[in-house]
Amino acid sequence: MLRKILTYALGCGLLWSCNDGVRQTDKSEMADTTEEYVPIDATSDTADMHNAQNSLDIAGIYTGVLPCADCEGIRTEITLKDDSTYVRKSTYLGKGDGTPQEEEGKYSWLDGSTIELRGIKDGPRNYFVGENTLTQLDMSGNKITGELAEKYMLQK
C-alpha cells in the first residue's frame, strides 16, 4: 500500500514539474479578464490601417440640402469620380432664378478621412468622408457642431 502511495506521489511530482509554471485557467476566469487598450500611433507605419481613403468606394453622386444664412437652403450635388475629379452643383432655394452654379476641379485627400475640393474660392471646400456620406466641414476644416450639424451631410 505504501508503495502505491509513493508511486502515485512520484508520478504527480513529475507531472507538476513538467508544467513550467504556466497556470491553467478555466473559461469562466477568461471571460472576466479585460485586455488593456493600447491606442495605435497615427504616425506609425501600420500595414493594415483602415480609413475612408483605402476602404471606401467614394466615387458617386452625393446630394442634399445644406443650410443657408439668407435663403431656404442650398440644394447641393457633388459628383466624385475615380480619377480624383469632382463636379459640384449648388442651387440656392428661394433666392435668384434657381439656376445651379457649377464648379469643377480635382479633389485631394487631406488625411485618410477628409477630402478637399480644390479650386473652390468662396465657401467651405473640405468634406469628411463616411460610408455613403460626405459631411461638409467649416472654413477651418472642423466638424460643424450644434443643432444643425446633421444637416451638413450629403447622401450617396
pLDDT digits (tens, 9 = 90+) for 70-124: 899 999 999 999 999 999 999 999 888 888 999 999 999 998 899 999 988 888 8
CB 86 within 8 A of CB 117: yes
pLDDT at 66 over 60: yes
Domain annotation for the chain: domains and CATH numbers: 52-155 (2.40.128.640)
Cβ atoms within 10 Å of 78's Cβ, excluding its own: 23
Instruction: Inform me whether the pLDDT recorded for 45 exceeds 60.
Output: no
Q: What percent of the chain has pLDDT over 90?
A: 52
- Residue 12's pLDDT is 55
Encode pLDDT of 143-152 as tens digits: 999 999 999 9
